[in-house]
A and B are shown apart, each in its own frame.
Chain A
Amino acid sequence: MAAISRDEVAHLARLSRLAVTEQELDTFAGQLDVILQSVARVGEVAAEDIPPTSHSVPLVNVLREDEPQPCLTPAEALSGAPDPFEDRFRVPRILEEEE
C-alpha cells in the first residue's frame, strides 16, 4: 500500500505554498512514497518511554545583556527586497477585494 497518495502530495504542496505542476506531482508522488516508506522504519523502534531530543545542546533561556548594538540602516535592510517602497517592504494584497 502506498504511504502517500498523489492527492495528499497536492494538499501538502498547497500547505507549503508551492504551486507545483501536474508533472511534478506525478514525479513527486512516487518518489515521496519511496522516501516515506523508508523513513517509516523509525516506527520499528520501541521508544514508548523514551524522552524526545530536539537538540543536542540542552540550553534554556539564553539571554544577552540588554545593551544597544549597532543594527542595519533601513537602506541596508531593504537592499535585497524585491519591491521596496518608502523605507518599507511592499507586498501584494493580503485581503480579498470587496465585491
Chain B
Amino acid sequence: VSDLIKSSAAELGSLIASGQASAVEVAQAHLDQIAAVDGRVHAFLHVDSEGALAAARAVDERIAAGEKLGPLAGVPISVKDVLATKGIPTTAGSKILEGWRPPYDATLVERLRDGGLVMLGKTNMDEFAMGSSTEYSAYGPTLNPWDLTRIPGGSGGGSAASLAAYEAPLAIGTDTGGSIRQPGAVTGTVGAKPTYGGTSRYGLIAFSSSLDTPGPCARTVEDAALLHAVIAGHDPRDSTSIDAPVPDVVSAARLGATGDLTGVKVGLVREFSGEGAESGVMGAFRDTVEALTKLGAEMVEISCPHFGYALPAYYLIAPSECSSNLARFDGVRFGLRVGDDGNRALEEVMSLTREAGFGPEVKRRIIIGTYALSSGYYDAYYGQAQKVRTLITRDFTSAFEQVDVLVSPTTPFVAFELGSRTSDPYQMYLADLFTIPTNLYGGPAISVPCGLSSGLPVGFQVMAPTLGDDRMYRVAAAVESVMGGLAAPTL
C-alpha cells in the first residue's frame, strides 16, 4: 500500500501545494487502490477515472501557474450517490433511477469543485438513504473492510468503507437519522453531521426534508473539519439553508488536538447509560469518558427524559416526509417507466413503475408514511410525533444550558453480520437509537473512533448545540488525541 493513500487529506493537500506530489499522481494512487480492492468491498457504484484525472490535471496546471488554492486542492474525494452530479450516473441506490444522468450539479458538488477537490466516483448506499447497513441498496451491499462478512453501516456505508479501505481520504455523506455517524462508527472512521441548514440540500435527492443534512466523512477529525469548511455555508438555492457565518471548525479541531479540555463541561445522557447497547461498546465509551476527564473535562450527568421516544417519533416523521417526497418518482419526468403498452392508464403505469423500481424498505416506509398522514391517524401518529419532537428539542435546549456538549456511544452495537437484521426491519432501526435525537433537534453531532470491541471499531458521539459545530470538533479531536490510532483493517 502506497504512502500516498495512507496519508491524511491535510497532508495530501500540502504535498500537492508544495509540489512534492502532483494531484494526478495522488488521484492515480487512489484509482489503483479502488481497482485493487473494490471488487471485494463494493464501496463504489460508479468510478469516474477519466473525470478524476482531468480534474487533477487542472489542479496541477493551476498550481504550476502560481495560483493559490485551498487546503484541499487536488485531494481526492468520494461522493454518496444521493447527490446530483452533472452527466455522471446518480441512482440513490435505487433501480428507479438506474442510468439517470442529472442535468445539473448539487451545490455541494460545485463547492467541492471550487475547492479543487477531485471526485473519484459515487458511493453505494441504502436505497434513498433508508437503512443502516447498505443491504437495502438495489445494487448489492458494501462490505466492511474490517471484516468482509459484516455490514459497513448505512445508509452511507459506501462512503465510510471507501475511507476505511484507503480508496479515498475524504467522502461526502448525508445524515437523516445517523447515516453519516453510524457508518463512521462501525468502520473506524470520522463522520460529522453539521447543524441542519448549515450545509445545502440543493441537488440532494430528498428523503426527509426536515432532517436531511449532508456532511463530511474522513479518517481524521482535522480532515473532517477541513472538508466541513469547504462545503458549509449559506446557499440561496436551499430555502432552509441558514444565513449565518460558519463556525471556525478547523481551528476548533486543532485546539482539541492539543488534548486540553480544561473548563469544558461534558454531559452524559442518563437515558443512554447502557440500555440496549453491547457491553463492549459501553466499555469503550466509559474508557473514553475517563480519558476525557484526565484531559480536564468536567463530567455532568444530564437527564433527557424524552430521548427514549426519539426512535418512534423519527420512524413516523421520516416515513411521512418520505411518502410525500418520493411521489416525484412517477415514471413521467425521469427514471424508470414500466408497463406503458399504449393501453394502460397513467395511474396503472405509475403503480407498476413504482412497484418495479422501489425495494422493500422504501415500500415499507412509503406505506407507513401514508398511514401516519391519513386523516383518521394523523393526530395520533404524525401530529403526536411532531409534539414529541418539540419535547426532545427542549431536552437539548435545557441540557445545553448546563453543559457544552453531550456524549454517548454512536450506535449500540459494532458492525453486525450481513443478513442478521434484514428479516426484522425494526431490529435494523435500533442501530439509530443514539443518533436520532440530534436529527430531530437539528444540532450538529460527530462520531469519532474510540477503540475496539471484539476487534471491531466503536464510535464515540459528541453532540453540540445548533451552530455550535466548532465545539463538537474540539471535543472529538481531543478524543482522537487519546483514543485514536486504530490499527488499519487488512484487506
A-to-B contact residues, CB < 8 Å: 4, 8-9, 12-21, 24, 27-28, 31-32, 34-36, 38-45, 47, 50-57, 59, 62, 64, 72, 76-77, 79-83, 89, 91-94, 96
CB-nearest residue of chain B relative to A15?
Answer: B370
CB-nearest residue of chain A relative to B367?
Answer: A12
B76 near A: Cβ within 8 Å? no
A89 and B210 form a contact (CB under 8 A): no
B68 near A: Cβ within 8 Å? no
- 5 tightest Cβ-Cβ pairs between the two chains A and B: A56-B442, A52-B386, A80-B334, A82-B337, A47-B387
Bound-state CA distance A44–B347 (Å) is 39
What residues of chain B lie closer than 8 Å to A51, measured between beta carbons?
387, 390
Q: Kindly identify which residue among B306, B316, B332, B354 contacts A91, using a CB–CB cutoff of 8 Å.
A: B332
A-B contact pairs, 27 of them (CB 8 A): A13-B363, A17-B347, A17-B350, A17-B351, A18-B367, A21-B355, A27-B360, A31-B364, A34-B426, A35-B426, A44-B309, A45-B309, A45-B384, A45-B387, A45-B388, A47-B387, A52-B386, A53-B440, A55-B240, A56-B210, A56-B393, A57-B242, A62-B239, A72-B104, A82-B331, A92-B348, A92-B349
A57 and B309 form a contact (CB under 8 A): no
What residues of chain B lie closer than 8 Å to A39, measured between beta carbons?
312-313, 315-316, 368, 381, 385
B333 and A80 form a contact (CB under 8 A): yes
Q: Kindly identify which residue among B313, B337, B363, B387 contacts A20, using a CB–CB cutoff of 8 Å.
A: B363
What residues of chain B lie closer than 8 Å to A41, measured between beta carbons?
309, 312
A35 and B384 form a contact (CB under 8 A): no
A89 and B426 form a contact (CB under 8 A): no
A36 and B371 form a contact (CB under 8 A): yes
Q: Kindly identify which residue among B197, B337, B388 contacts A83, using a CB–CB cutoff of 8 Å.
A: B337
Given A47-B391, A56-B196, decide whether A18 and B351 contact each other with a Cβ distance below 8 A.
yes
B323 near A: Cβ within 8 Å? yes
What residues of chain B lie closer than 8 Å to A57, measured between beta carbons?
196-197, 240, 242, 442
B113 near A: Cβ within 8 Å? no
A52 and B355 form a contact (CB under 8 A): no
CB-nearest residue of chain B relative to A41?
Answer: B312
Bound-state CA distance A12–B313 (Å) is 20
Given A17-B354, A41-B309, A57-B242, decide whether A35 and B391 contact each other with a Cβ distance below 8 A.
no
What residues of chain B lie closer than 8 Å to A38, measured between beta carbons?
312, 315, 426, 429
B-to-A contact residues, CB < 8 Å: 100-104, 196-197, 210, 236, 239-240, 242, 306, 309, 312-313, 315-316, 323, 330-337, 340, 344-352, 354-355, 358, 360, 363-364, 366-368, 370-371, 374, 380-381, 383-391, 393, 424-426, 429, 440-442, 466
A47 and B388 form a contact (CB under 8 A): yes
A82 and B441 form a contact (CB under 8 A): no
Name the distance in Å between A15's Cβ and chain B's nearest Cβ.
5
B346 and A91 form a contact (CB under 8 A): yes
B371 and A12 form a contact (CB under 8 A): yes
Given A17-B347, A18-B351, A24-B360, decide whether A53 and B386 contact each other with a Cβ distance below 8 A.
yes
CB-nearest residue of chain A relative to B384?
Answer: A42
B355 and A20 form a contact (CB under 8 A): yes
B424 and A34 form a contact (CB under 8 A): yes
Bound-state CA distance A13–B236 (Å) is 37
Interface centre among A12, A32, A51, A92 (most CB of B within 10 A): A92
B101 and A79 form a contact (CB under 8 A): yes
A9 and B239 form a contact (CB under 8 A): no
A79 and B103 form a contact (CB under 8 A): yes
B346 and A94 form a contact (CB under 8 A): yes
Q: A32-B367, A36-B368 are in contact. List 9 more A-B contacts (CB 8 A).
A: A32-B364, A35-B368, A47-B391, A50-B391, A56-B196, A57-B242, A80-B101, A82-B332, A83-B340
A16 and B366 form a contact (CB under 8 A): yes
Name the distance in Å between A74's Cβ and chain B's nearest Cβ.
11
B102 and A59 form a contact (CB under 8 A): no
What residues of chain B lie closer than 8 Å to A18, measured between beta carbons?
351, 354-355, 358, 363, 366-367
What residues of chain A lie closer than 8 Å to B236, measured between beta carbons?
64
Q: Kindly identify which residue among A20, A35, A53, A62 contacts B425, using a CB–CB cutoff of 8 Å.
A: A35
What residues of chain A lie closer than 8 Å to B389, measured between beta carbons?
52-53
Bound-state CA distance A68–B370 (Å) is 38
Bound-state CA distance A54–B100 (Å) is 32
Q: Kindly identify which residue among B354, B384, B385 contacts A19, using a CB–CB cutoff of 8 Å.
A: B354
Name the distance in Å between A20's Cβ and chain B's nearest Cβ.
6
What residues of chain A lie closer than 8 Å to B351, measured between beta carbons?
14, 17-19
Bound-state CA distance A19–B363 (Å) is 10
B371 and A4 form a contact (CB under 8 A): yes
Name the distance in Å between B195's Cβ and chain A's nearest Cβ.
9
What residues of chain A lie closer than 8 Å to B340, measured between beta carbons?
82-83, 92
B103 and A80 form a contact (CB under 8 A): yes
Name the distance in Å between B186's Cβ and chain A's nearest Cβ.
23
What residues of chain B lie closer than 8 Å to A45, measured between beta carbons?
306, 309, 384, 387-388, 391
What residues of chain B lie closer than 8 Å to A82, measured between beta carbons?
331-332, 334-337, 340
CB-nearest residue of chain B relative to A72?
Answer: B103
Name the distance in Å between B359's Cβ and chain A's nearest Cβ.
11
A50 and B363 form a contact (CB under 8 A): no
Bound-state CA distance A79–B346 (Å) is 21
Name the distance in Å between A31's Cβ and chain B's nearest Cβ.
5
Interface centre among A27, A79, A82 (most CB of B within 10 A): A82
Bound-state CA distance A89–B355 (Å) is 21
